Amino acid sequence: MDIRTILENEEITRLARKRFQEERAIDHLEGWFLAKEIARACDEKFKEDPDCIRIAKTQVEIMKKIPLWISDYNVFAGTQDDSFARSYALINPAFTVDSFSGYCDPTAVFGDIDPVGDITEERIHDLKEYNNHTAYANALQKAYEIAGDSTSEAVFFIEQVTGHLIPDVRPFLKGGTKLLKGQILQNAAKTDDPDKKNYYEAMRISLDAVEVLADRYAALAHEKAAQATGSSRQLFCLMEETLRKVPKNGAGNLYEAIQSFLLIWQTMCLEQTPNPFAFSVGNADRIFEPYRAAGNTDRATAASLFKHLLVFFNVADRSWAISQNLIIGGKGNDGRDMTNETSYALLDAYYDMNLPQPILSVKIHKNTPKRLYEELGRFFFTPGCLTPSLFNDDAMFEILRNNGVADEDLEDYSVAGCQEPLIMGKDNGNTTNSWLNMPKVLELILNDGKSSITGKKLGKSYEENGCQNAQEIVENIRELFYHNLESVVDQMTASANAASEAVAIQQVPFLSSMMGGIETGIDTRDTKRQGTKYNGSGCLIHGLTVMADSFAAIDTLLEERPQDAKRLLSALADNFQHDEELRQYLLMCPKFGNNIDKVDKEAAKLASRVSDLVASRKNYLGNPFRCDYATPSTHLLYGYWVGATPDGRKAREMLNYGIDPLYGEANSGLGLRILSSMKLPHGKMNGGEASSFGVNPSHFRSSTYEEKGVEFANKIVAPLFYNPKTEEISPFYLYVNVTTPEMLRKVLANPGKYAPGGVYIVRIHGTFVNFLDLSPAIQEDIIKRLDPGSAYLE
């Protein structure tokens, strides 16, 4: 049976829209809670088993008992709803910057569920207390004890990474779990290592879990078919037939491949419930194209089916499953363009649905076909429409190769979460494991080791830094900064590694089967033996251009007004309240983003030296930390804990976003801003980088979307990614909001007029979201960072 003989494309699309509306009406999520209760019972039931086998058996029990349902609007069975809570701060309307304390409490999620039905306050409290005393919670607490007070004001943060990986689903889709189980048994027979034998058995059992899920959904589809008539009955019969085949056996066409994928994804996410943020799909067009081609599925039909795939990634009323990335396009290892018919079908699905999730990213290179830019034009120039992130394959291949990635794996790099490059199915990068706040380190040095926000002593005093007075502090600020930063990075590394060791307690045999575990017999998260081909830990480095601007301002002050060194420290300590004149002087000093060589080179030196420092630190397996110059709204959150800085920035104002200038400081247009960016050592930003342009649509005067897409490539993409003046590795990441502050304020003032469907998509950082879902603080941040002066085109 073929879905094309059952439903027209328009009907498949209508069902996708109805299914999304149905999902957005869900204002409570408790599946994760029920899964955790089942897991608690299994802790006792399987306590005699090795941990990995207990975890796998628990997964099977969850699949047997978790409530399941199929909507009248489903074309495929499957949901992510049971894996997520209504937790993500930045899309919570009650979120305020001062309330953010990181994601360090493993039981905080229990505050995100309200009593409903027979889930009482007592049940919630009881399960929270149980989870607060698990081996994982105890180990994580020790990690934060190593961090001490440093996390209280965001000198650095650490995070127990859950998602932020890109599984390789292709073997599942091609051969099915039946074939993979055979491979597991063969490899288990080849080893005498008892731990590996146990782990192979755990993976085999974990594959039973997805088969149980498919069988239960097949039974539900059978029931739906029995109650339906006409095309609805035929659809549910097809669904049942497909669920009896996949994922146990390989998929033969696009419909089967999508169905298999959804159940694999559901199982993977439930393995890490609650909130396995930022699992990403990888090169989706390459994953699904063989199945589209095998069934000779036309572009329009493929697009209609992919609309249901996209709806799957949207969880409940605010699309809580944030930062799951899907990428298309790019080049192969041989340099050929790999865009295909599925690439364009996915673009059609994204454009027509315009949903808050999943993130769309596009790989481009020097030989990207004109057609792709033409098709992207509609995204960039339709108000309120999602805009994809852009990744420069030519630069990314070079960076990855320089950091040890084998040539045969380069085309399989993809993006986890917002913008972190990983090799699909082979790379555990622990990408958000640590977060470094450079301006906070600077503040403590300039304020005698004390926070100018709270007065708490968090750093070394002047005397401990070997200085007798303000003059010595200011004159030796670089040396003092780098010296103090070493100590901070050492502490951060120790606590980040401890957090990784904590999360390793929660083994993931199902995920590991898609991350090289079938070959190695080792868990993806293992901190003693490397289970994936590539491994590292991430460090997101904050405040690059605020720091460069601050050093440049100090230099200017010492050169022109050396007698004001002490005055500078006094002004910073009281947030310029009594010295606005000095603040205005500092604001007029050179700023990054205006192609001023002095400060641009300062930023480049700073990025290079800090990258070398961070990369010299080793994670739990002895692999380097990867330097990521991205700040996923944390430029706002961490800035709240940073006092006034020598660039003239006032206390508690945001830091710069990613590698961008601080808003309002680059006012010479996009051309000069790009020239500043080109001077940065992008090759050392192997963990990722982030840059955002707020582009006024009036700069593009072509008459059609297609022509504007090509104009966008010529005016924005080519100067940034393929500039002939670039001497080293080019920038490799960009996202844009093609709008103006005035337009977004109109949307807020009159959403009924400008977003009649209740959805107006903007970029928040590496992800796009419904602008109307965001907290007011984040809405204002986006409006500020549109920063017209830094992005106008002559």
For 549, list phi and psi in degrees, rounded to 5. -65, -35
CA atoms 155, 477, 599, 391: torsion sign: negative
Q: Are residues 376 and 343 in contact, defined by beta-carbon separation less than 8 angstroms?
A: no
Q: Which residues contact 191 (CB under 8 A, 6 or more apart)?
A: 197, 200, 521
For 163, list phi and psi in degrees, rounded to 5. -85, -120
- What is the arithmetic mean of pLDDT over 448-460? 96
Q: Which long-range contacts (CB under 8 A, 24 or more apart) does 738-742 make?
A: 738/380, 738/381, 738/387, 738/695, 738/696, 738/697, 739/383, 739/694, 739/695, 739/696, 739/697, 739/786, 740/694, 740/696, 740/697, 740/786, 740/788, 741/783, 741/784, 741/786, 741/788
pLDDT value at 765 more than 90: no
3-state helix, strand, coil in the chain (%, to 5): 55, 10, 40
Beta strand 434-437 pairing with 420-423? unpaired
pLDDT value at 791 more than 90: no
Distance between CA atoms of 495 and 147, rounded to whole angstroms?
Answer: 6
Q: Which long-range contacts (CB under 8 A, 24 or more apart) does 742-749 make?
A: 743/383, 744/771, 744/779, 744/782, 744/783, 744/786, 745/783, 747/384, 747/771, 747/772, 748/772, 748/779
Cα 336 from chain centroid (whole Å): 28
pLDDT value at 91 more than 70: no
Structure tokens at 219: 């039974």
Distance between CA atoms of 39 and 431, rounded to whole angstroms?
Answer: 27
- What is the arithmetic mean of pLDDT over 164-186? 98
Note the pLDDT tens digit of each residue in 354-392: 999 999 999 999 999 999 999 999 999 999 999 999 999
Note the pLDDT tens digit of each residue in 275-306: 998 899 999 999 999 999 999 999 999 999 99
For 702, list phi and psi in degrees, rounded to 5. -65, 160
Angle at 500 between CA 96 and CA 199, to 5 degrees: 130
For 569, list phi and psi in degrees, rounded to 5. -65, -35
At residue 764, the pLDDT reads 82
Q: Is 256 helix (H, G, I), strand (E, B) or coil?
A: helix
- What is the arithmetic mean of pLDDT over 53-73? 98
pLDDT band at 102, cuts 50/70/90?
low
Least confident of 585-589, 595-599, 634-638, 720-724: 634-638
For 27, list phi and psi in degrees, rounded to 5. -115, 20
Cis check: omega of the bond before 194, within 30 degrees of 0: no
pLDDT band at 103, cuts 50/70/90?
low
Distance between CA atoms of 503 and 517, rounded to whole angstroms?
Answer: 17
Q: Where are the beta strands (DSSP E) in 214-321?
A: 282-283
Cα 621 from chain centroid (whole Å): 23
Average pLDDT of every residue of the chain? 95
Task: Classify residue 390 by its DSSP letter.
Answer: E
Residue type for position 218 = A
At residue 74, the pLDDT reads 98
pLDDT value at 332 more than 80: yes
Q: Are residues 341 and 375 in contact, defined by beta-carbon separation less than 8 angstroms?
A: no
Note the pLDDT tens digit of each residue in 715-735: 999 999 999 988 889 999 999
Note the pLDDT tens digit of each residue in 607-648: 999 999 999 999 999 999 999 999 988 898 899 999 999 999
Distance between CA atoms of 48 and 531, rounded to whole angstroms?
Answer: 25
pLDDT band at 90, cuts 50/70/90?
low
Q: Are residues 302 and 342 in contact, defined by beta-carbon separation less than 8 angstroms?
A: yes
Note the pLDDT tens digit of each residue in 539-575: 999 999 999 999 999 999 999 999 999 999 999 999 9
Cα 617 from chain centroid (whole Å): 23
What percentage of the chain exceeds 90 in pLDDT? 89
Distance between CA atoms of 108 and 597, rounded to whole angstroms?
Answer: 47
pLDDT value at 69 more than 80: yes
- What is the arithmetic mean of pLDDT over 109-136? 95
Note the pLDDT tens digit of each residue in 234-284: 999 999 999 999 999 999 999 999 999 999 999 999 999 999 988 999 999
Task: Classify residue 623 by its DSSP letter.
Answer: P
The helices-and-strands tally (H runs, E runs) of the chain is: 30, 17
For 404, list phi and psi in degrees, rounded to 5. 95, 5
Tell the residue number behind the tokens 């840059």, with chain if given. 691
Number of neighbours of residue 578 by Cβ within 10 angstroms: 10
pTM of the model as a whole? 0.96
At residue 766, the pLDDT reads 76
pLDDT value at 185 more than 70: yes
Burial class (CB in 10 A: 0-12, 13-18, 19+), 784: middle
Closest by CA position to 54, among listed 256, 248, 202, 244: 202
At residue 774, the pLDDT reads 82
Distance between CA atoms of 345 and 254, rounded to whole angstroms?
Answer: 12
Distance between CA atoms of 539 and 678, rounded to whole angstroms?
Answer: 22
Q: Are residues 737 and 782 in contact, defined by beta-carbon separation less than 8 angstroms?
A: yes
At residue 100, the pLDDT reads 62
Structure tokens at 81: 């709803």
Q: Are residues 319 and 356 in contact, defined by beta-carbon separation less than 8 angstroms?
A: yes
At residue 440, the pLDDT reads 98
Which residues are paired to 361 by β-bridges?
Answer: 327, 389
Distance between CA atoms of 295 and 231, rounded to whole angstroms?
Answer: 21
Number of neighbours of residue 104 by Cβ within 10 angstroms: 17
What percentage of the chain exceeds 70 in pLDDT? 98
